[in-house]
Structure 1
Amino acid sequence: MSTPDIAILDARDLQCPWPVLKARKRLLMLAPGAVLQVEATDPMSAIDIPHFCAEAGHALIAQTVENGIYRFVIRRGER
């Protein structure tokens, strides 16, 4: 079984609300069910991105932080 391609969004060094706005724009360019990995350094992204996913109907598959880099793996919803 092959793994799906994962699009990467580098939102490091961007402050709130830019990581969410850029993730939203990038997800709109992907097909429903596609996966996006967002990397951010803004601590507020740990709150903002999960909230955005819940409100927009996207699935937050994983959320990690390592060495000040917050990583989010998002599966685009149907809408």
Structure 2
Amino acid sequence: IDNYIKSCIPCAQFNPRRQKPLGTLKPIQPPDGVWQLVAMDFHGPITPTTQRGNKYIISLTDVLSKFVITKA
């Protein structure tokens, strides 16, 4: 079935795309000083969990100095 659908020209012409088009990147101006622009990310779930039962880690990164702070 998969090979038939891939080789079907009318299916390819009239079947709507199910993926969003790719986005474009926009340049970011470098900050004038430390901690003026911060990037944040979440990691997890992690195993094993911490002693307090935390499953996720948050990380904050200063874009200028690349200094990272993490907290579980």
Q: Smaller-chain TM-score range?
A: under 0.3
User: Normalization by structure 1: what TM-score?
Assistant: 0.22
Greater share of helix? 1
Higher relative contact order (CA 8 A, sep 6+): 1
Query: Highest CA radius of gyration, 1 or 2?
Result: 2
Greater share of strand? 1
